């Protein structure tokens, strides 16, 4: 179960800052989690796959 | 998700969907389903790994996960699915936002 432990160690901690990241939407626009700070809450959904 | 999107907006929340598919797959799916919220392809799995979604653990597919980040950037609600149907309802997520 070492792999599981390794993956679990990246779990997000509650009441601590969520890790910032930068991705591009499918139109090429850059989106950063920190873009929303001070403006909106963010509901991050990690999809289980739609294909 | 799409029907409840207005409720998320009313709570001053944005919905971001991240997945391992590439931009083309996202674009097609978003267009087919007419989705109003941002879709973020992550084919390198960088953010998926950062947030700990169990990408390769099960052959059938990844487990779903949701994280609510409040307006100050703090993670307030985290749910990692134990199986494919272990997804909190929109009501649960909306309640956590309130």
What ipTM was reported for this prediction?
A: 0.79
What is residue B83's predicted lDDT score, i.e. its pLDDT? Answer: 62
CA-CA distance, B23 to B40, in Å (whole number)? 8
Residue A10's pLDDT is what?
59
Separation of CA A23 from chain center: 10
Most confident stretch, B13-17, B45-49, B79-83, B92-96: B13-17
A vs B: CB pairs below 8 A: 163
- Give the model's confidence band at B71: pLDDT under 50 very low, under 70 low, under 90 confident, else very high: very high
Average pLDDT over residues B27-31: 95
Higher pLDDT, B72 or A3: B72
Which of A43-47, B34-38, B58-62 is predicted least confidently? B58-62
Q: Which residues of A touch B19 (CB under 8 A)?
A: 46-47, 49-50
Question: Which carries the bigger pLDDT value, residue B46 or residue A13?
Answer: B46
Buried b (16+ CB within 10 A) or exposed e, B61-71: ebbbbbbbbbe
B39-41, strands of its sheet edge to edge: B39-41, B13-19, A41-46, B65-69, B75-80
> Contact A37/B73, CB-based, under 8 Å?
yes
Which residues on B lie below 8 Å from A13 (Cβ)? 75
CB B32 within 8 A of CB B9: no
B47 and A14 within 8 Å at the Cβ level: the answer is no
* Tens digits of residue pLDDT in A1-51: 545 444 444 567 788 899 999 999 999 999 999 999 999 999 998 886 666
Residues of A in Cβ contact (< 8 Å) with B84:
48
High-pLDDT (> 90) share of chain B, %: 38
Distance CA A29, CA A31 (A): 6
- Indicate if the pLDDT at residue B58 is higher than 90: no
């Amino acid at each position: 179960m070492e792999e599981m432990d390794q993956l679990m160690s990246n779990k997000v901690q509650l009441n601590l800052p969520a890790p910032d990241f930068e991705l591009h939407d499918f139109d090429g626009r850059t989106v950063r989690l920190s873009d929303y700070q001070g403006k909106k809450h963010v509901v991050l959904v990690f999809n289980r796959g739609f294909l | 998700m799409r029907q409840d999107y207005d409720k998320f907006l009313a709570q001053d929340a944005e919905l971001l969907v991240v997945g391992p598919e590439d931009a083309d797959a996202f674009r097609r799916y978003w267009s087919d389903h007419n989705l109003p919220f941002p879709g973020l392809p992550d084919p390198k799995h960088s953010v998926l790994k950062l947030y700990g979604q169990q990408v390769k653990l099960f052959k059938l597919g990844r487990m779903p996960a949701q994280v609510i980040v409040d307006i100050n950037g703090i993670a307030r609600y985290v749910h990692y699915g134990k199986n494919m149907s272990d997804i909190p309802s929109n009501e649960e997520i909306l309640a956590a936002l309130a």
